[in-house]
Structure formats: C-alpha cells, structure tokens
Amino acid sequence: MAQVTRRGLVGTSAGIAAGLGLIGSAQAAEPQMEPAALRGIVKGDQVSLPPLDTQADISGRVPQLDPFARRLGVAVVGLGRLSLTQILPGFAYSAHARVTALVSGERDKARIIAAQYQVPERNIYDYANFDQLRNNPDVDIVYIVLPNALHAEYTVRAAQAGKHVLCEKPMSTTVADAQRMIDACKQAKRKLMIAYRCQYVPEFRAMLQMVRGKSLGAVQMITADNGQANANDGQWRLIKAMSGGGSLPDVGLYCLNTARFLTGEEPVEITARTTQPKDDPRFREVEDLCAFTLRFPSGILANCSSGYSYHENRAIRLLATEGWLGMDPAFGYDNLTMQIGRRQGMSNGLEQRRWSAKNQFALEMDALAEAIRGDQVPLTPGEEGLQDMKIMAAIYQAAASGEVVRMAPAERLDATRGVAPKEES
C-alpha cells in the first residue's frame, strides 16, 4: 500500500479537482483561505493574529524573533552541567541572542558541543587564549558559567576585551571581588548583569505585582527554604576557596535574593546559625545547613534556610494581612505553581495559578540583549550581586558571633536594580 503523505494528499486532491474541471489547465488554483483580515496583520516588524476563540483576553500577538544574524552573539564560558543541560538548550527559545563561541579547557568536549550548536571551530577558545575574544566580532556577550572563585577574573578579562558580561550567581566569593567586577565593566563601558533568573520569570513577576500592589494586604512575614541532597563529596562547591561557602551562596541565595526582590527593601538586622557536621566528610570546609532571619525597615521578617543534607525542598510563602501567597515548588527551572490563600466567607479558600512554560535562561539572555540595545541598566546589574555578597558576609558574621548584625538602610526601594524587561502583552 502506498504511503499517504500530506504532500501526496494535496497532489491527489488537486488531481481530483482537475478531473472535475475545477482547475484551469494552465495552473493550479490558490488554496482556499479565510479572509485576509483573519490571516494576520503586518505592521512594521510586528505580526498579529486574531484569537481562535471569542475570549477577549486571548492575545493574538505572534512572538517576534530577531532575524538570526541580528541576534547578539554569546560566548559561553565553561561547559559544565548547567551549560550543557540548561543554558545551551535555552538558546533555542531566545528571541535576541544566539551562541557564537565556546570557552572550555577541554578541547575535545568543546568541539563536540560546537558541532551540535553550529559554532564554528574557529570560535572555540580555551582559558589561555580567552583574551582573543576581543578580536571576534561574532561575540557581543560573555556568559560566565564557572566556579564562583573564577567569576571575578573572567568578568574583568571579558570587560577588558570589550564584551558585555552575564555572570552566574553568586557573583563572586568576596565583596572585594564583586566590586572589582563592577569597576572593570564601568571602566570598559560594558554592561554587567548577574543571572538572577527568578527576577525574570513570569511566575515571580506576577508575585511581585501582588506584593507591591498589596492585593492580599501588607506582607508581614516571609518564609523561604531551598535545599537538596546533591552535594557529592569532591565537588568544587564543597571547596571553600572555589565556592566561598556551602549551601548559603549556592542555594540559600535564592531565598535571600527573592525576599529582597519581592519587598524592594534591604535588611537592617540579621541573625543566623550554621551547621558543619564533623562526621560528614563533605563539610570539612563549608557549612551544610544555614538558617537566617532578615528584618526589613517596614517590619517584615524573612525566615530563610538552606541545606545540602536533606531531601529536595524549594518553597516560599509570604504571609499578609488578608491572605498568603507562595510557590511550592519554587526556585526550580520549571513546574512553578503559585498558591494563594484567602478568606472566603466563613472558610479559607485556596487558589492555584500556573503560567505557560518559559525558558528561564532565554528570558535572562533576552533581557540583557534588550538592555544593551536600549543602553539601559539591566534589572539585575552588578550592584544587585554586590548587595547579596554584603548580606551573605553579614550572615556568616552573625552565625559566627551569635549576635545581631546591623546594616545600613537603603535610600529607596529597589536601590540596586535597573530597568525591568518589557512585559509580554
């Protein structure tokens, strides 16, 4: 039996139509289409379509992607697990960025990955010839995905090579290095953005709007926990010189940064405790558990924790005067769901909200591309990462001393943040 394909079916239909005298002998008729108004409207560089149904809140806007050659070129520095499983696949969903170069100390691995992503072999670099990126017009942005202790060195070198920088969190291992990164990018007149992906995803941005709009009243307390038992002995994350600390800078930072992001405030008092089990060889140099409390100027308390030795738990909840909202799971790459609790008559109601999946790394890269093109400060610039470094240093100080550590209040809300990316309509 002959296989029927879509192309074959079209051809067969045309033949039948011809036999019925529906098509002229010289050429085939155009396929019957709906009216032009229903096929889409082109205005400038935008295309819009009418909705498929009658719901007034369904947008007919088509995602607008830059032509491939116009997208900003990105050199990914470091081909570890995060790059291979999340960042590089994320380019398939990016509207404004494309991978154009790779930097790795393992040439054979880099060549395999380059072939998969159509990166020419001439655009494969190692750490010795990294500075030659200055001569490559294919690269606009350097995305640093290296162990924390190397962030400062390669940010400085990238800036000196004339490239903008997207750096994974935590920004560095010391406050001094974080400041050095900021200074180098300012001197080179290049953008520096820290990859705080939660600030870019629609779920957390919706939560931000609810908190700032006080849709559940005024927030009184925040609880946030992030931990997982995936820190195997020998990983660089357990070597203090490479990581700067244990679970706090790795996963506890999500709790810290999200509390700051949602409230817009900076903590004025900090208390903390850490554990470093003597019978577990993983924690010879860094902490396992970290619990810390932040008091914000408005009176909001944030109780946060992180750990490496318990089953995965990622959750955040904000308790307000007229209800609560949270995410469980939170901080992950997908499957984020918002829960909202509020009084309904004589009982408490529970609502859940989910959003269409968005690739978080594509959102970050596109936000930086837009900031570069618009010459704007990114939402999460170096100053945002520097502030977290200062607070984490205070957390360690509080844990070591057992005393309250006080910090100077910020002059305004969102004092360390730049311009939010454009919201999709």
Pair (106, 255) in one structural domain: no
The four Cα atoms 114, 119, 120, 125 give a dihedral, to 10 degrees, of: -70
Q: Round to whole Å and give the CA distance between 143 and 109.
A: 18
Pair (87, 128) in one structural domain: yes
The pair of three-digit structure tokens given for residue 52, joined into one six-digit string: 């498929």
At 257, which CATH number?
Answer: 3.30.360.10
At 91, which CATH number?
Answer: 3.40.50.720
Pair (178, 261) in one structural domain: no
Pair (211, 352) in one structural domain: yes
Percent of the chain past pLDDT 90, that is, above it, reads: 77
Q: Rank 27-31, 158-162, 230-234, 353-357 by mean pLDDT and report only the highest.
A: 158-162
Whether residue 63 has pLDDT greater than 60? yes
Reported as a pLDDT band with limits 50, 70 and 90, residue 35 is low
Question: What per-residue confidence (pLDDT) applies to 356?
Answer: 81
Q: Give first-to-last CA distance, the chain, whole Å.
A: 49
Pair (110, 159) in one structural domain: yes
Domain count, the chain: 2
Mean pLDDT score across all residues of the chain: 89
Do 164 and 372 touch, CB atoms closer than 8 A? yes
Do 105 and 129 touch, CB atoms closer than 8 A? no
Pair (139, 258) in one structural domain: no
Pair (347, 274) in one structural domain: yes
Query: What does the pLDDT average to over 309-330?
Result: 95
Reported as a pLDDT band with limits 50, 70 and 90, residue 50 is low
Q: How far is CA 338 from CA 107, 216, 268, 284, 393, in A?
A: 43, 14, 29, 38, 31
Whether residue 152 has pLDDT greater than 80? yes
Q: What's the pLDDT tens digit per position in 163-176?
A: 999 999 999 999 99
Q: What's the pLDDT tens digit per position in 185-221?
A: 999 999 999 999 999 999 999 999 999 999 999 999 9
Pair (154, 273) in one structural domain: no
Q: Is residue 305 part of a domain?
A: yes
Pair (82, 168) in one structural domain: yes
Q: Is residue 8 part of a domain?
A: no
Question: What per-residue confidence (pLDDT) applies to 369?
Answer: 98
Pair (401, 270) in one structural domain: yes
pTM here is: 0.86
Question: What per-residue confidence (pLDDT) applies to 16?
Answer: 38
Q: How far is CA 183 from CA 143, 156, 177, 369, in A?
A: 18, 9, 10, 21
The residues near 343 (Cβ < 8 Å, ≥ 6 apart) are: 322, 323, 349
Q: What range defines the domain where residue 127 resides?
A: 68-195
In sequence order, what DSSP letters do the residues of 241-278 get, joined into one string?
HHHSSSHIIIIIHHHHHHHHHHH----SEEEEEE---T
Reported as a pLDDT band with limits 50, 70 and 90, residue 425 is very low
Q: Is residue 217 part of a domain?
A: yes
Pair (187, 220) in one structural domain: no
Q: Round to whole Å and give the CA distance between 11 and 5.
A: 10
Q: Is residue 285 part of a domain?
A: yes
Interhelix angle 175-188/382-401, rounded to 10 degrees, is 170
Q: Which residues are known catalytic residues? A: 169, 254
Reported as a pLDDT band with limits 50, 70 and 90, residue 108 is very high
Q: Is residue 13 part of a domain?
A: no
Question: What per-residue confidence (pLDDT) applies to 2?
Answer: 44
